[in-house]
Amino acid sequence: MSHLARAACLASVLVAAVFTVGCAGVAPNYAPSIDNVQSLKQSGAQPAKVGAVVVQADIPGGKSIGLRASSISSPVGENYGDYIATALRQELELAKLLDPQSGVEISGTLLRNNIDAGGFSTNSGQIEARFLVKRAGQLRFDKVKRIEHSWESSFAGAVAIPRAANNYPVMVQKLIGTLVADPDFIQSLQK
């Protein structure tokens, strides 16, 4: 067998391994968005606490997101609702608007949590969540926010899977960005 034939054989074995070996890992930790924090700081919002973001029963991606033959789970809590609640807390804390004793509470329900990692040139993900704001138990805000995010991908799973995982925090930043850009949300946090 020639050197070129051996190299081609080895390459095909490696490609097959990339597509058949599955593994589980955790999503990257959330990194707050400077834009979101600035928007919150400049909003005139009062401090709030973050309650639970529950996962709608039996949604795919609630506890683990499939990425080809791999999967990732939340690095915090038990599911991706906990990830989003933690992200909200981080954003509010950096904006100096987090107060666990506040009478204003932000909570929600994760409705969709998906990453499409099967594309060879691009991939995308979607998150949809219903957010609520209550002041002293009275509902002041109730809306569904949805984002879709795309990025360059690769045929090789060894490249595509980490890129997909690394884009999850970006997706959450965008989701929170749609929330803090909503004047009704900001108004619900004001006196």
pLDDT tens digit string along 138-178? 999 999 999 999 988 887 766 778 888 899 999 999 999 99
Please count the structural domains in the chain: 1
CA 46/CA 28 separation, integer angstroms: 30
pLDDT of residue 13: 36
| Mean pLDDT in residue range 38-49 | 97
Residue 9 falls inside a structural domain: no
pLDDT of residue 8: 42
Residue 83 falls inside a structural domain: yes
Residue 16 falls inside a structural domain: no
pLDDT of residue 161: 80
Paired with 109 in beta bridges are 54, 130
Measure Cα distances from 68 to 61, 71, 112, 125 in Å. Answer: 13, 8, 18, 13
Rg (CA), the chain: 20
| Tokens (6 digits) for 132 | 């609520």
| Mean pLDDT in residue range 20-25 | 60
pLDDT of residue 1: 55
pLDDT of residue 153: 83
Nearest to 185 by CA among 52, 39, 38, 54: 39
Residue 3 falls inside a structural domain: no
Residue 62 falls inside a structural domain: yes
Residue 10 falls inside a structural domain: no
Structural domain boundaries enclosing 115: 24-189
Residue 165 falls inside a structural domain: yes
Residue 15 falls inside a structural domain: no
87, 30 contact by CB (below 8 A): yes
Structure confidence by residue, pLDDT tens digits, 100-143: 999 999 999 999 999 887 778 888 999 999 999 999 999 999 99
| Mean pLDDT in residue range 1-16 | 44
Structure confidence by residue, pLDDT tens digits, 58-87: 899 999 998 887 899 999 999 999 999 999
| Mean pLDDT in residue range 14-39 | 75
pLDDT of residue 89: 98
| pTM confidence score | 0.85
The CATH number of whichever domain residue 136 belongs to comes to 3.40.50.10610
Torsion angle defined by CA atoms of residues 162, 86, 64 and 118, in that order, rounded to the nearest 10 degrees = -40
